[in-house]
Chain A
Amino acid sequence: MPSGSIPILKIGPTLLASIQIDLHDTVVDAFQNDILLEIEKSGSRGLIIDISALESVDSYVARALANTAKMAKLMGTETVIVGMRPAVAATLVRMGYYMSGVRTALSLQEGLELQAELLKAAESE
């Protein structure tokens, strides 16, 4: 059961987390902890992080998201970030922050499709 302020839902084989609040240290720590525990418990191979509620993302949040994806990857789980707003994408590239290691998709639907592809590819390696 998640202890932090970001609820994590299980949708079939995938975990879905929707970020609605301003992220800071304790929230990020709890979030990352909860995700990893969930992965361990449920064996989910996919994680979708929905950031459609975020109007702005600074480098701290971008790093937090990227690190979360990396942690999940270590446990064999593929992460896709969905719902990025136009202004968020613009601000990140203007700052020079391209988040190159992170997969993104326009919507939950596409995120799930992309995840399925990624997992299939990972399996065939």
Chain B
Amino acid sequence: MAVAQTPSEAWEIRIDKEADIIAIRQLVRELTKQFKFDQFASAAMTTATSELSRNVWVHAKSGLARVSVLREGDRIGLEVVLVDHGPGIADLNRALAGGYSTANSLGLGLSGTRRLVDEFKIDTEPGRGTTIVIRKWKKEF
């Protein structure tokens, strides 16, 4: 699993096999610990990252995760961008609509994952692929 590291606060990990999901998850978990996110925020961001990475692997077979540390004034945040050139999502509204459901044909769990993070952006088109950006900010007090 190739881990390309640009100036100490940004990482790129290719997603080609299941083990990559774990590498990405572990990286995000380590970062949340390094920046002292609380246990709930840490679990939320790690899980969201894991869900989305797994989606890439399951549905697109290959893709990319870009993890970076965000700094805005005194605020610290983590951002994960998942990019794939897979099938894309045809009915985005339905995929984002309420409730986690194993009966949900897409099984993406996007609405559930969205509730775990502070910012969630998705750009998708059938045939072109999907890019999802998630961010979690550390609570200051």
Contact = CB atoms under 8 A, between A and B. Distances in A.
Interface residues of B, number: 27
B18 A88 contact: no
A88 B43 contact: yes
A120 interface: no
Nearest to B23: A22
B131 interface: no
Interface of B: 18-19, 21-22, 25-26, 29, 39-40, 42-44, 46-47, 50-51, 54, 98-100, 102, 109, 111-113, 115-116
A22 B47 contact: no
Q: How large is the interface on A (under 10, 10 to 19, 20 to 34, 35 or more residues)?
A: 20 to 34
Given A56-B47, A58-B47, A86-B40, A91 B111 contact: no
Interface string A65-107: 0000000000000000000011110110011110000000000
Interface string A17-33: 00000101100000000
Contacts, number: 70
B44 A91 contact: yes
Contacts of A3: none
B22 A91 contact: no
Interface string A43-65: 00000000000011111100100
Contacts of A85: 39, 43
B58 to A, nearest CB: 9
B26 to A, nearest CB: 7
Contact of A24 (B22, B39, B99): B22
A48 B130 CA distance: 40
A87 B39 contact: yes
Contacts of A94: 44, 112, 115-116
Contacts of B112: 59, 94-97
